[in-house]
Amino acid sequence: MPDSASDWKPSASWRKLRRRAELLRQLRAFFAERDFLEVETPLLSSETVVEAHIDPLAVTLPDDPRDGQRGRTGWLQASPEAAMKRLLVTAAEEAEEEGGDEEATPRNIYQIARAFRGGEAGRHHNLEFTLVEWYCIGQSYDDAMTLLSDLASKLLGMPAAERVTYREAFLAHAEIDPLTAETQELVALATASGVAAPPALGDDRDAWLDLLLTELVVPRFARERPTILCDYPATQAALARVEIDEGHGHAVARRFELFAGGVELANGYWELLDADELRGRTATANALRKADGRMELPPPERLLAAMESGLPACCGCALGLDRVVMLATEATSIDEVIAFPHERA
């Protein structure tokens, strides 16, 4: 049982809460200066984007006498991505109807949203957290990374981010090519480097890459400036486009992540537009979930229908606000920057 004599108190100091509020003001000012429209989408939804290793929280909804449905399941969203993309589709449609009037139909949207993910623990995780997520219609992959770098500099007072590909980072810091190495080679590298691996990794190649990235690559990123890691293996595309890189001839996901202080802060995509491709990736993710003993999740049918209607070319990114506050205040745990973390909620 928790200690009721003290667990009612917030875990964050007022100094850190004031800094958090200031960062929120800076975020809104940053997006307002760039003509982003702030939007709101449902926290509880009938569907969710399916990813192999992310667990949204299921909620059993009360019986609804209006339609006779009983025991329906809703999902507390792990990200507002699906609903925001549905908005983008209608923005593009209305832009055509209005003759390209950008004041009537914004091209850039953002949201500061609560999000939930189960099964994650540690000093950088809380069951409930805050995401800043944004999408830009017509934005290039390169410009998306520049925008993220500018935002990081604004919030953290650091120089522009260094940009490096996933392959370049592994070759430089782990001396292995992550796009061609066999699983056995990754296991051998982890063993030779003294990296302790959980038994559950088995022959999951992407899990071994994630482990090596965390233990060998990210700790060697520059500390004085952020790093944007881009062009992930195609098997880690999630909802990003996959293309053949002309430089080395291998398929890569047009995905990028921001790291600062050894911590992942943001994840972005040059967004996948093909609904059929997303259906296939959803089926693959559910197969991996089943093999891992996780619940299979229903496909995001409304998102798929929106994509079939015509998701415009766009880039999107999600930033973990709590981790940004941690870095800005030199906190060592996420509990220090959230008033009431899960254990005290």
Summarised one tens digit per residue, pLDDT across range 137-164 is 999 999 999 999 999 999 999 999 999 9
What pLDDT sits at residue 63?
Answer: 78
Residue 308 counted as domain residue: yes
With a CB cutoff of 8 Å and minimum separation 6, the contacts of 72 are 46, 60, 61, 64
What pLDDT sits at residue 120?
Answer: 80
213 with 193: CB under 8 angstroms?
A: no
**Could you tell me the CA-to-CA distances from 27 to 32, 91, 116, 133, 329 in Å, in that order?**
9, 23, 21, 11, 16
pLDDT tens per residue, range 227-282: 999 999 999 999 999 999 999 999 999 999 999 999 999 999 999 999 999 999 99
Residue 193 counted as domain residue: no
| pLDDT band, very low/low/confident/very high, at 98 (cuts 50, 70, 90) | low
DSSP state of 217: I
> Helix or strand or coil: residue 113?
strand
Residue 61 counted as domain residue: yes
86-100 mean pLDDT: 81
Residue 7 counted as domain residue: no
Q: Residue 241's closest CA among 256, 252, 226?
A: 252
| pLDDT band, very low/low/confident/very high, at 70 (cuts 50, 70, 90) | low
CA 23 – CA 329 distance, rounded (Å): 11
Tokens coding 253: 């996901």
CA 143 – CA 149 distance, rounded (Å): 10
118 with 127: CB under 8 angstroms?
A: yes
What pLDDT sits at residue 5?
Answer: 76
| pLDDT band, very low/low/confident/very high, at 104 (cuts 50, 70, 90) | low
Residue 201 counted as domain residue: no
**Could you tell me the CA-to-CA distances from 170 to 111, 138, 177, 229, 256 in Å, in that order?**
33, 31, 6, 11, 15
With pLDDT > 90 as the criterion, what percentage of the chain qualifies? 87
Q: Residue 278's closest CA among 257, 294, 302, 259?
A: 302
Residue 188 counted as domain residue: no
What pLDDT sits at residue 95?
Answer: 72
Query: Which domain, by its residues, includes 232?
Result: 14-161+225-344
212-217 mean pLDDT: 98
What is the number of domains present in the chain?
1
At residue 1, does pLDDT exceed 60?
A: no
pLDDT tens per residue, range 81-90: 999 999 999 9
pLDDT tens per residue, range 34-64: 999 999 999 999 999 999 999 999 999 887 7
| CATH code of residue 75 | 3.30.930.10
Residue 30 counted as domain residue: yes
Which of 100-104, 257-261, 319-323 has the weakest average pLDDT?
100-104
Q: Taking all residues of the chain, what is their mean pLDDT, rounded to a whole number?
A: 94
271-300 mean pLDDT: 96
Residue 328 counted as domain residue: yes
What pLDDT sits at residue 192?
Answer: 97
